[in-house]
């Protein structure tokens, strides 16, 4: 499979090169040259396939011959080392829990898949790659955990000072080995800008930089897997399915739309956002006007200029009318999010964290327009990662899961930086 740059369609590279580079030299995101629908029989029989078999069917055309079948199956097996249950919350509403992995956020899937692809491509090489990643919360931990100990790869994580939760910070600053954390005096967009600049910096060429944000195809594409898994669990209801995805960089929802392109029968997607509402405003006004991000309680979605939105536009050939048939986007304030966490708990006993609660709100809004549907909101992180918000709101104490316990007592090790020059000095 070849991938082209969204800035220049004649610039084409292999899967390996797209994974290793992250972003094209012209700063374009890579996009697959072809997308082939899977046979109908696959969807009618999906309940007879294991999760690993489903994932293999979904991803194989995007990898092509570049990773042998048995290796790819092994990578998938290691990626999917946990469950993806669709938990009933209220009538016709399910929470797709994506937080049962090692860092308790959905990004474990992409992080684990990408690290193993890179490990495969480096198997007989002497080069070192540096994975440079900006995080607004969860990416850092998932990438750190996914890449820990991977041969030939050093990981450098930038996070905005004071804008990630204590547990999130511990997950990315306590691992050691090949994982380095930089605490940036700024917001997430400053971190992301520094990372983008570094990729284009000739003086850093020798570091073989690559990204592990959802701009990297090996982080982005495996996020299709659990949309298939959810369908497998909900098919028996025989109703149109609406998915609501709490969205920041729009990688997760864009992977969901890819799953639909492969033929998965999903009726509608909702991108639910916090106050960072660039996409909902775009759908309302028709003009795309990114703004600097503002801090919210769902901090992993504090993104002012979602990097994957351009991939969604590509999927719809920039045809807004077609796009709006499949897609809606709604924005919610922190006050509305907090009220939803309380409301869901008081009515159903289900504990949602802020991102999931934003997803829930968007789902309910869309389902009111599509009353015959069933709905799924993606619960993208475990509530324990946002205990500062959830515990006081619900007046309860959450038990600490074993994945989190293991980082709590450890010392945070990070370097503080303020400018791009500081980043360069650190890398060199």
Distances (CA, A) of 199 to 13, 181, 195, 256, 260: 17, 18, 6, 27, 32
Distances (CA, A) of 181 to 265, 375, 392, 425: 41, 38, 30, 14
- Whether 377 and 356 have beta carbons less than 8 Å apart is answered as yes
Cα–Cα dist 201/256, whole Å:
33
Quick one: 132 or 143, whose CB is closer to ligand PLP?
Answer: 143
- Closest distance of CB 178 from ligand PLP, Å: 22
Nearest to 275 by CA among 227, 321, 226, 336: 336
Active-site residue, from 9, 107, 180, 321: 107
Across 225-243, b (16+ Cβ under 10 Å) vs e yields bbbbbbbbbbeeeeeebbb
Quick one: 214 or 293, whose CB is closer to ligand PLP?
Answer: 214
- Closest distance of CB 105 from ligand PLP, Å: 5
- Whether 333 and 275 have beta carbons less than 8 Å apart is answered as yes
- Whether 221 and 215 have beta carbons less than 8 Å apart is answered as no
Residue spans of beta strands (DSSP E) within 33-152: 86-90, 93-97, 129-134
Q: Which residue is nearest to ligand PLP (CB)?
A: 138
Active-site residue, 73 included: no
Question: What's the length of the chain?
Answer: 428
Q: Which residues bind ligand PLP (CB under 6 A)?
A: 105, 107, 137-139, 214, 246-252, 300-301, 355, 380-381
Quick one: 139 or 161, whose CB is closer to ligand PLP?
Answer: 139
Cα–Cα dist 73/77, whole Å:
6
- Closest distance of CB 98 from ligand PLP, Å: 8
Quick one: 105 or 114, whose CB is closer to ligand PLP?
Answer: 105
Quick one: 46 or 143, whose CB is closer to ligand PLP?
Answer: 143
- Whether 60 and 36 have beta carbons less than 8 Å apart is answered as no
Region of residue 135 (left: phi > 0; alpha: psi -120 to 50; beta: else): beta
- Closest distance of CB 287 from ligand PLP, Å: 21
Burial (Cβ within 10 Å: 0-12, 13-18, ≥19) of residue 423? buried
Quick one: 46 or 387, whose CB is closer to ligand PLP?
Answer: 387
- Closest distance of CB 413 from ligand PLP, Å: 22
Quick one: 175 or 204, whose CB is closer to ligand PLP?
Answer: 175
- Closest distance of CB 235 from ligand PLP, Å: 25
- Whether 332 and 325 have beta carbons less than 8 Å apart is answered as no
The helix or strand, by DSSP H or E, that contains position 94, with its residue range, turns out to be strand 93-97
- Closest distance of CB 26 from ligand PLP, Å: 23
Q: Which residues are catalytic?
A: 107
């Amino acid at each position: 499979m070849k991938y082209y740059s969204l800035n220049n369609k004649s610039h084409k590279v292999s899967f390996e090169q797209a994974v290793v580079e992250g972003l094209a030299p012209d700063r374009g995101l890579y996009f697959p040259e072809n997308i082939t629908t899977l046979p109908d029989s696959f969807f009618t029989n999906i309940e007879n396939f294991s999760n690993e078999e489903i994932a293999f069917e979904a991803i194989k055309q995007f990898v092509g011959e570049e990773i042998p079948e048995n290796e790819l199956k092994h990578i998938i097996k290691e990626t999917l080392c946990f469950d993806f249950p669709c938990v009933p919350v209220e009538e016709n509403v399910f929470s797709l829990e994506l937080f049962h992995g090692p860092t308790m956020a959905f990004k474990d899937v992409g992080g684990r898949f990408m690290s193993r692809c890179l490990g495969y491509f480096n198997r007989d090489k002497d080069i070192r790659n540096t994975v440079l990643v900006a995080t607004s919360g969860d990416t850092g931990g998932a990438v750190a955990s996914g890449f820990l100990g991977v041969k030939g790869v050093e990981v450098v994580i930038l996070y905005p000072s004071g804008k990630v939760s204590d547990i999130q910070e511990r997950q990315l600053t306590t691992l050691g080995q090949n994982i380095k954390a930089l605490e940036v005096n700024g917001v997430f967009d400053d971190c992301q800008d520094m990372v983008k600049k570094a990729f284009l910096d000739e003086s850093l060429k020798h570091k073989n930089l690559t990204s592990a944000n959802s701009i990297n195809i090996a982080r982005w594409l495996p996020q299709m897997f659990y949309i298939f898994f959810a369908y497998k669990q909900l098919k028996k209801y025989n109703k149109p399915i609406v998915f609501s995805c709490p969205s920041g960089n729009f990688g997760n929802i864009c992977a969901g739309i890819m799953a639909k392109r492969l033929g998965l029968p999903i009726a509608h997607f909702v991108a639910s956002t916090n106050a960072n509402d660039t996409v909902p405003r775009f759908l309302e006004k028709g003009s795309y006007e990114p703004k600097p991000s503002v801090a919210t309680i769902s901090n992993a979605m504090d993104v002012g200029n979602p990097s994957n939105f351009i991939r969604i536009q590509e999927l719809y050939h920039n045809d807004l009318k077609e796009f709006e048939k499949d897609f809606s986007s709604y924005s919610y304030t922190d006050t509305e999010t907090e009220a939803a966490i309380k409301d869901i708990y008081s009515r159903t006993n289900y504990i949602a964290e802020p991102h999931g609660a934003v997803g829930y709100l968007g789902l309910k809004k869309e389902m009111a327009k599509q009353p015959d549907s069933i709905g799924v909101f993606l619960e993208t992180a475990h509530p324990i990662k946002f205990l500062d918000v959830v515990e006081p709101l619900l007046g309860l104490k959450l038990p600490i899961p074993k994945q989190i316990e293991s980082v709590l007592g450890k010392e945070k090790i990070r370097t503080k930086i303020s400018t791009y020059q500081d980043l360069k000095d650190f890398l060199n």
